[in-house]
């Protein structure tokens, strides 16, 4: 083995790859994604960086395969076994409506499992785990017979309160496997928590994407040499084995975006940044995330296609605003996205048949993108085509093409600033003091505009920023995360029960890591308790590593409650759940940092528009030429093969030894 570590992220527009080797400079590339053949996308990406599959020692992959299947409704038929009297939980849902004032819109999405494939099981477990109605062999046999008669190859089992006592689910699972059911999803394995609707839907979704995930991972495994270690990014920002991902494919629902957040957290730790806002702007979407003290925020309440996933996932706010987002003028004014020109035909300036104005076209019109360079050595940019696409829009607005392009970027930046507010203000964090970590193909070009719109004065553009999610695949630790309902009251306090729950979670999470050869002494454990005042609906996440005494846990809860809401009432409280993450350290074999270089010289100069007053002569620099300790004052444009860093007037950019570029505000931008 040549020792190459490779990360591949397949996005909606491009497939990114980063390859690291201790004796060579990093290799990176972007190739157009092939949605119909993602394995071909990976092989094409490997060829783009000059690697054959047999040269890859370790490949970690982030994918939107599961995400797209759920969003597009391409799901395998599922039979759902549920407690008698509760088979309609997946359809009844919650009382909230998607659109409160529009009666023409269905109040909730269609159920994951239709009524004819929802099968009642004669059994009943109570919330404390006690059995009110035993599951007999006859009842189990009848449920299995009905599941087989449904014709579904995938079966989901979600019994009432199985998180408290999974004995009945385990018995049904054994009988279904004995009957030859190829794909089986049990709720106490997928989501061992209360809230029957969310747990049932998550279990059914897991079963519905199982065949797709199994086929995809098997195809990918066949395409790689036997000696290549394969890992898959999961939605909590770590990597897992293909076997684990095939058994619980719902953990891949946010695989690609989570990879970018994992890389952002690693850079935040390396740079010593305590408060970071990850800003990933690609061709189709923009994803933002909050990173505190080197750790990404985690949520268990994520939704996809308006369905609850109920899995611990990186808390990502995703909006349909990217470089390929189409600009519309409607009754409410200009809007950006969520429709996208995608990779084919792409923005109008690509010259591949696109005719509608996009954000990318606006950046070319304003001079930020250089029409003399080919993106990735392949895609030529045509300013005349961009202006032709913007001309009808400008005419409707009653202004020039340049003014229309400036307005589009202001709208795009304001849209993204609202997404930043949702991940900061709603979590009790003042994001104005954070560092904006900008990556993705378009992130560094929009970072200064977004920072101005939100009030941020520091921007960090990491090395390999255009393929940062692929870098996150390489940099991610092997980790597993689990959240379990506990229902532990403060009075009377049962510390032994808390310790027992900890021990059980640890054993479950440690098993796959031990199986991968990780020594137990090397494991790193993180714990969060979900605590609330009695009578509240939702709990507060409180780190409790090393805490077991009632007084210590209570003090930690009140301190966290005070930080989020400004007060702590001192009322009775309870621990509703426990979340644990186990991770293993990973060696990243990258080359040494580049030595200091001479002051950079611009390779070109050209006009850029920063406001409607007129163009400003702006130098252009090759990013590889900007090395520590040199700095550039705006206006300036810094380019690499696939991305552009815009340094407006009033900003300063300086590189560090590892190729990260820190931008700071030096005055009021034009």
The CATH T-level fold of domain 4-69+214-252 is Nucleotidyltransferase; domain 5 (3.30.420)
Element holding 634 (H helix, E strand): none
Element holding 329 (H helix, E strand): strand 325-330
Instruction: Quote the pLDDT of residue 545.
Output: 86
Q: How far apart are the first and last CA of the chain?
A: 53
Residue-wise burial string across 236-255, b where 16 or more C-beta atoms lie within 10 A, e elsewhere: bbbbbbbebbbbbbbbbbbb
Domain spans in the chain, listed from the N-terminal domain onward: 4-69+214-252, 96-208, 325-411, 478-584, 604-665
Instruction: Quote the pLDDT of residue 587.
Output: 63
Same fold, 4-69+214-252 and 478-584: no
| Tens-digit pLDDT profile for residues 582-593 | 988 776 655 555
3: left (phi over 0), alpha (psi -120 to 50) or beta: left
CA distance 402 to 267: 36
pLDDT beyond 90 at 667: no
Among 75, 91, 94, 109, residue whose Cα is nearest residue 185: 75
- The half-sphere exposure of 282 on its side-chain side, counting CA atoms within 13 A, is 28
- What is the average pLDDT across 255-278? 87
| Tens-digit pLDDT profile for residues 347-377 | 888 888 888 899 999 999 999 998 887 765 6
380 CB contacts (<8 Å, ≥6 apart)?
A: 350, 351, 371, 374
Residue 129's pLDDT band (boundaries 50, 70, 90)?
very high
pLDDT beyond 50 at 550: yes
| Tens-digit pLDDT profile for residues 22-65 | 888 888 888 888 877 888 889 999 999 999 999 999 999 988 78
295: preceding bond cis by omega (within 30 degrees): no
Instruction: Quote the pLDDT of residue 50.
Output: 93
Helices and strands in the chain: count of H runs, count of E runs: 16, 35
Residue 669's pLDDT band (boundaries 50, 70, 90)?
very low
CA distance 339 to 327: 9
Neighbours of 459 (CB within 10 A): 26
| Tens-digit pLDDT profile for residues 57-87 | 999 998 878 887 887 788 999 999 999 999 9
Neighbours of 648 (CB within 10 A): 23
| Tens-digit pLDDT profile for residues 314-334 | 888 877 777 888 888 888 788
Q: Check: CB of residue 231 under 8 Å from CB of residue 255.
A: no
Instruction: Quote the pLDDT of residue 83.
Output: 97
Q: Check: CB of residue 165 under 8 Å from CB of residue 145.
A: no
632: left (phi over 0), alpha (psi -120 to 50) or beta: beta
pLDDT beyond 50 at 670: no
515 alpha-carbon distance from chain centroid: 27
- DSSP per position, 383-421: HHHHHHHHHHHHHHHTS-HHHHHHHHHHHHHHHHHHHHH
Residue 668's pLDDT band (boundaries 50, 70, 90)?
low
Instruction: Quote the pLDDT of residue 584.
Output: 85
| Tens-digit pLDDT profile for residues 428-452 | 788 888 999 999 888 999 999 999 9
Q: Check: CB of residue 206 under 8 Å from CB of residue 156.
A: yes
pLDDT beyond 50 at 186: yes
180 CB contacts (<8 Å, ≥6 apart)?
A: none
Instruction: Quote the pLDDT of residue 325.
Output: 84
- What is the average pLDDT across 247-257? 87
Backbone angles phi, psi at 632, to 5 degrees: -125, 140
pTM of this structure: 0.82
Among 427, 214, 192, residue whose Cα is nearest residue 310: 192
Element holding 473 (H helix, E strand): helix 468-475
The CATH T-level fold of domain 478-584 is Dna Ligase; domain 1 (3.30.1490)
Beta strands (DSSP E) in 1-103 are 4-10, 14-21, 24-32, 56-62, 78-83
Give the chain's radius of gyration (CA, Å): 26
- Report the percentage of the chain scoring pLDDT > 90: 50
Q: Check: CB of residue 277 under 8 Å from CB of residue 456.
A: yes
Top-confidence residue, 299 or 484: 484
| Tens-digit pLDDT profile for residues 571-581 | 999 999 999 99
Work out whether the CA dihedral 187, 191, 195, 198 comes out positive or negative: negative
Highest-pLDDT range among 219-233, 549-563, 583-597, 653-667: 549-563
Instruction: Specify the length of the chain in residues.
Output: 670
Instruction: Quote the pLDDT of residue 592.
Output: 56
Name the average pLDDT for the chain.
88
Where do runs of H (alpha helix) occur along 537-649?
Answer: 550-565
pLDDT beyond 50 at 481: yes
CA distance 651 to 517: 48
Instruction: Quote the pLDDT of residue 34.
Output: 81
């Amino acid at each position: 083995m040549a020792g190459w570590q490779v990360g591949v992220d397949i996005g909606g527009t491009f497939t990114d790859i980063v390859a690291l080797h201790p004796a060579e400079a990093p290799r990176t590339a972007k190739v157009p994604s092939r949605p119909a053949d993602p394995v071909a996308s990976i092989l094409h990406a490997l060829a783009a960086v000059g690697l054959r599959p047999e040269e890859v020692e370790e490949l970690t992959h982030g994918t939107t395969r599961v995400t797209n299947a759920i969003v597009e409704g391409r799901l395998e038929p599922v039979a759902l076994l549920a407690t008698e009297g509760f088979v309609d939980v997946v359809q009844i849902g919650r009382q909230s409506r998607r659109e409160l004032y529009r009666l023409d819109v269905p109040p909730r999405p269609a159920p994951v499992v239709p009524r004819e494939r929802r099968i009642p099981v004669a059994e009943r477990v109570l919330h404390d785990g006690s059995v009110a109605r035993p599951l007999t062999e006859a009842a189990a046999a009848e449920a299995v017979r009905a599941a087989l008669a449904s014709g579904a190859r995938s079966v989901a089992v979600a019994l009432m309160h199985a998180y408290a006592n999974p004995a009945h689910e385990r018995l049904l699972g054994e009988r279904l496997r004995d009957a030859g059911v190829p794909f089986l999803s049990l709720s106490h394995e997928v989501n061992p928590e209360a809230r029957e609707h969310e747990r049932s839907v998550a279990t059914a979704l897991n079963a519905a994407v199982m065949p797709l995930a199994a086929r995809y991972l098997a195809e990918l495994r066949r395409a790689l040499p036997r000696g290549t270690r394969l890992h898959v990014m999961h939605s909590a920002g770590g990597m897992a084995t293909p076997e684990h991902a095939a058994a619980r494919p719902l953990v891949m629902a946010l695989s690609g975006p989570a990879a970018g957040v994992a890389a952002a957290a690693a850079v935040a730790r390396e740079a010593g940044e305590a408060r970071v806002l990850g800003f990933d702007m690609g061709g189709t979407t923009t994803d933002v995330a909050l990173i505190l003290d080197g750790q990404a925020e985690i949520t268990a309440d994520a939704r996809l296609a308006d369905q609850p996933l109920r899995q611990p996932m990186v808390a990502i706010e995703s909006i349909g605003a990217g470089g390929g987002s189409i600009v519309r003028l409607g009754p409410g004014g200009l809007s950006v996205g969520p429709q996208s020109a995608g990779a084919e035909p792409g923005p109008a300036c690509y010259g591949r048949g696109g005719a509608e104005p996009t954000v990318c076209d606006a950046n070319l019109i304003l001079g930020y993108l250089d029409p003399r360079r080919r993106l990735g050595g392949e895609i030529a940019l045509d300013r005349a085509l961009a202006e032709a696409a913007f001309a009808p829009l400008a005419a409707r607005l009653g202004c020039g093409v340049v003014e229309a392009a400036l307005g589009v970027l202001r709208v795009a930046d304001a849209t993204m600033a609202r997404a930043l507010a949702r991940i900061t203000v709603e979590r009790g964090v003042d994001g104005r003091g954070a560092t904006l970590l900008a990556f993705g193909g378009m992130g560094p070009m929009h970072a200064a505009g977004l920072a101005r719109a939100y009030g941020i004065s520091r921007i960090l553009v990491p090395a390999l920023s255009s393929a940062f999610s692929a870098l996150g695949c390489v940099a991610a630790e092997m980790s597993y995360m689990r959240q379990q309902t506990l229902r532990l009251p403060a009075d009377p306090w049962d510390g032994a029960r808390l310790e027992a729950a900890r021990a059980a979670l640890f054993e479950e999470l440690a098993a796959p890591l031990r199986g991968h050869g990780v020594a137990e002494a090397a494991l790193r454990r993180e714990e969060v308790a979900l605590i609330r005042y009695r009578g509240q609906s939702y709990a507060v996440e409180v780190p409790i590593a090393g805490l077991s005494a009632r007084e210590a846990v209570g003090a930690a809860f009140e301190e966290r409650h005070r930080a989020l809401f400004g007060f702590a009432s001192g009322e009775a409280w309870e621990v509703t759940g426990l979340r644990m993450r186990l991770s293993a350290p990973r060696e990243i074999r990258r080359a040494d940092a580049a030595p200091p270089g001479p002051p950079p010289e611009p390779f070109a100069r050209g006009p850029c528009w920063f406001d409607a007053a007129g163009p400003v002569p702006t130098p252009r620099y090759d990013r590889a030429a900007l090395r520590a300790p040199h700095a550039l004052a705006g206006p300036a444009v810094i380019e690499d093969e696939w991305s552009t860093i815009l340094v407006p007037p009033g900003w300063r950019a300086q590189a560090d030894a590892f190729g990260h570029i820190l931008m700071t505000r030096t005055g009021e931008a034009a």
